[in-house]
Every structure is written in C-alpha cells, then in structure tokens.
C-alpha cells in the first residue's frame, strides 16, 4: 500500500515539474525590442514616463477595505442561520467573530493606517 502511494506521489511530482518546465520554456518572449517594450499610445512615441509614482497610502487603504469587505460578506449569513442553529453556539460564534473584527479595526486605527493625511 505504501509503495503505491509513493509511486503515485513521485509520478505526480514528475508530471507537475515536466509541465511547469515545458510551459516556462514555451512562454518566454524571444524578441525584445524598443517598440514592444514601450507603452502603446496610438502609434506615437510615449509623451511621458510609463512608470508613474504610486501612492502607497492609497494601496493600503484599498487592501484594508477589501479585507473588511470580505469580512462583511462573512457576517451577512449570521442573521438567517440564527433560527436554524442553537442560540448559544450562534451567539458564541458571532460574538467571537465580531471581537476579532473589532480587534483588527482597533489595531489598524492604532497603527494610523486609517488616516489619509499625516
């Protein structure tokens, strides 16, 4: 039994590595020239730099928003399942989840990540 599992594992690893190496060699760009690497602006030379500075503060706020948005989608089913489950386990689960959310919010607020301007 162990020999069969070992054989299947080794075969799976070999197939995976083979597919990864084939896709890696086939996906590489071979021709690199100035026109292919420059941003496209209707056939004209680019007016400015394609690498504009990015606001890291905006990115952090967006990531925090996404995290709390996913957590809200996890909170929404709590109300309909209240009638289908034990009230004690429902309360324990929902209070524990809300405490974790509030602790995360407090931590982000305490670190200053929610303030847009310094």
pLDDT tens for 26-41 read: 876 666 666 666 666 5
pTM of the entire structure? 0.49
Contacts with 41 (C-beta within 8 Å, 6 or more apart), sequence order: 47
Instruction: Please give the pLDDT value at position 83.
Output: 85
- The pLDDT of 75-92, averaged and rounded, is 88
13: tokens are 């690893």
| Helix (H), strand (E) at residue 12 | helix 2-26
Q: Measuring CA to CA, which residue among 40, 58, 42, 65 is closest to residue 50?
A: 40
Please report the domains of the chain, with CATH numbers, ordered by start residue: 2-111 (1.20.58)
Q: Are 78 and 94 in contact (CB under 8 A)?
A: yes
Q: Percent of the chain beyond pLDDT 70? A: 77
Distance CA 21, CA 77 (A): 44
User: How many other C-beta atoms can be found within 10 angstroms of the C-beta atom of residue 108?
Assistant: 16
């Amino acid at each position: 039994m162990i020999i069969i599992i070992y054989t299947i594992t080794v075969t799976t690893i070999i197939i995976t590595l083979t597919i990864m190496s084939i896709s890696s060699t086939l996906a590489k760009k071979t021709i690199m020239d100035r026109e292919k690497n420059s941003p496209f602006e209707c056939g004209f030379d680019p007016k400015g730099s394609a690498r504009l500075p990015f606001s890291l503060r905006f990115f952090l706020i967006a990531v925090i928003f996404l995290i709390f948005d996913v957590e809200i989608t996890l909170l929404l089913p709590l109300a309909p399942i209240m009638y289908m489950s034990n009230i004690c386990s429902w309360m324990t689960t929902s209070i524990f989840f809300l405490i974790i959310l509030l602790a995360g919010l407090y931590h982000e607020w305490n670190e200053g990540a929610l303030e847009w301007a310094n």
